[in-house]
């Protein structure tokens, strides 16, 4: 049994857990071989055949293992892929009957409606399930690996980079600090101008404690994250999603220091610091805010500011785009945003970067024209 293969399938397991799982699988295989030997006829030319196992059943076992190995938010994404892309198409297929041609047809159909990112996640997920079937000795090898072609990535994996204009940013900021008819301001609304001037992910901002803020040196330490995940308690009358803290951020490079400009500092000054919570943006009980409550607050601010409603990432996109407009190089922007690679930043903001490159070349042309005129 190859423990490296187990580690690749379940990267969250510790080395000791991998060894235990490997020993367990070897033991199971040994027991199956003994049972087949006892049940086999005297004619040794007759080989025992595997019982027909459906991909849906294998997927269920694989998912139970993934639940223990990955973060809750990652499991939610995997579950969504399984439920919406894989099981509807292949759940009733026998695991040893799945052919590359069937998977290729599936990928081609998905490509007509889904992004490149969804295609790759779906194909990788199906591959991992079949690798798990190999690991469990249900099939001899994964017949679809390296035998299916994904369409060329033509940019469909990238989110539409929707940004706020300068005027919209001013309106959002003004509405975030404005008082209602009772002379009160929304305690969560300063989050929006804070996002506009830091580029933090929404989960990173909601996880911030006052101890993460260095007012003297004017920066914030980003070192934790909160996520909205499915509530699996099974209890009635509970919300479908709950907010949980992740002790680690999205990637290693996401743990970073982000400097605060005057606008971000002003947003912090507008916050009501509570004695019962060290969080910057707590809910009424002093714990982490839910994504749903932040969306409701955003809707109120958007209506007041007369700005079209947009998602959380519009604030981050706006922040990054304005940096590019001011000539900040892509490597620096990538570091501030906490991307795992410069390529990710370039791919997302390629249009903004190309616009800045075109302007830079035009400046050289203007300089040459001035020199000739002189």
Per-residue confidence in pLDDT tens, the chain, 374 aa: 455 655 565 555 555 555 555 655 555 555 545 444 444 444 444 444 557 899 999 999 999 999 988 888 889 999 999 999 999 999 999 999 999 999 999 999 988 888 888 899 999 999 999 999 999 999 999 999 989 998 877 654 445 688 999 999 999 999 999 987 777 789 999 999 999 999 999 999 999 999 999 999 999 999 999 988 888 887 888 888 888 888 777 677 789 999 999 999 999 999 988 888 999 999 999 999 999 999 999 999 999 999 999 999 999 999 999 999 998 999 999 999 999 999 989 888 888 888 877 777 777 665 555 555 65
The three-class DSSP label of residue 46 is coil
Q: Where are the strands (E) in 163-263, listed by range? A: 213-214, 219-222, 225-230, 241-246, 256-259
Q: Alpha-carbon distance 284 to 268, whole Å? A: 18
Torsion of CA 117, 123, 124, 125, to 10 degrees: 110
Greatest CA span in the chain, whole angstroms? 102
Q: In the prediction, which pLDDT does 179 show? A: 84
What are the sequence ranges of the domains in the chain?
Answer: 3-135, 166-358
Residue 158 has phi, psi (to 5 degrees) of: -85, 135
SS3 content of the chain, % helix, strand, coil (to 5): 55, 10, 40
- CATH number 3.40.50.1100 is the correct assignment for the domain at 3-135: no
Reported residue count of the chain is 374
First and final CA of the chain: distance in angstroms? 78
The three-class DSSP label of residue 280 is coil
Q: Alpha-carbon distance 66 to 72, whole Å? A: 10
Q: Alpha-carbon distance 60 to 72, whole Å? A: 17
Q: In the prediction, which pLDDT does 228 show? A: 86
The pair of structure tokens assigned to 332 is 């620096």
Superfamily, domain 166-358 = Intergrase catalytic core (1.10.443.10)
Q: Alpha-carbon distance 100 to 90, whole Å? A: 12
CA-nearest of 127, 147, 7, 108 to 58 is: 127
Q: In the prediction, which pLDDT does 46 show? A: 41
Q: Alpha-carbon distance 148 to 90, whole Å? A: 16
The pair of structure tokens assigned to 90 is 């292949």
Q: Alpha-carbon distance 240 to 155, whole Å? A: 33
Q: In the prediction, which pLDDT does 254 show? A: 86
pTM exceeds 0.95, yes or no: no
- Residue 338's Cβ-count burial label (10 Å; 0-12, 13-18, 19+) is buried
Q: In the prediction, which pLDDT does 112 show? A: 83
Q: In the prediction, which pLDDT does 317 show? A: 95
Phi-psi region of 237 (alpha: psi -120 to 50; beta: other; left: phi over 0): left
């Amino acid at each position: 049994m190859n423990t490296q293969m187990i580690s690749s399938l379940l990267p969250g397991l510790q080395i000791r857990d991998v060894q235990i799982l490997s020993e367990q699988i070897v033991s199971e295989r040994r027991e199956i071989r003994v049972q087949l030997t006892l049940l086999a006829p005297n004619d040794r030319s007759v080989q025992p055949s595997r019982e027909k196992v459906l991909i849906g059943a294998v997927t269920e076992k694989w998912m139970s293992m993934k639940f223990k190995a990955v973060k809750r938010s990652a499991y939610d994404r995997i579950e969504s892929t399984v439920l919406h892309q894989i099981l509807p198409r292949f759940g009733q297929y026998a695991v040893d009957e799945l052919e590359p041609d069937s998977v290729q047809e599936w990928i081609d159909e998905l490509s007509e409606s889904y992004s490149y990112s969804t295609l790759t996640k779906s194909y990788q997920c199906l591959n991992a399930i079949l690798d798990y079937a190999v690991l469990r000795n249900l099939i001899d090898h994964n017949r679809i690996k390296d035998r299916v072609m994904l369409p060329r990535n033509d940019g469909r994996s990238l989110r539409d980079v929707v940004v706020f204009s300068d005027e919209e940013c001013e309106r959002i900021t003004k509405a975030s600090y404005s008082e209602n008819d009772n002379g009160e301001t929304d305690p969560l609304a300063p989050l929006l101008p804070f996002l506009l001037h830091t580029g933090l992910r929404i989960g990173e901002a909601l996880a911030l404690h006052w101890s993460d803020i260095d007012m003297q040196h004017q920066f914030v330490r980003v070192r934790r994250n909160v996520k909205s995940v499915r509530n699996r308690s099974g209890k009635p009358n509970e919300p479908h999603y709950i907010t949980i803290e992740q002790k680690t951020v999205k990637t290693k490079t996401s743990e970073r220091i982000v400097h605060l400009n005057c606008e971000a500092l002003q947003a912090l000054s507008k916050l009501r610091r509570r004695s019962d919570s060290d969080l910057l943006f707590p809910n009424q009980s002093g714990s982490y805010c839910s994504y749903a409550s932040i969306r409701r607050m955003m809707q109120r601010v958007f209506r007041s500011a007369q700005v079209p409603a947009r998602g959380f990432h519009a604030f981050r996109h706006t922040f990054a785009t304005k940096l590019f407009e001011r000539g900040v190089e892509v490597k620096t922007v990538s570091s501030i945003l906490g991307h795992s690679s410069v390529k990710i930043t370039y791919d997302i903001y390629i249009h903004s970067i190309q616009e800045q490159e075109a302007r830079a070349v035009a400046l050289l042309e203007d300089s040459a024209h001035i020199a000739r005129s002189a």
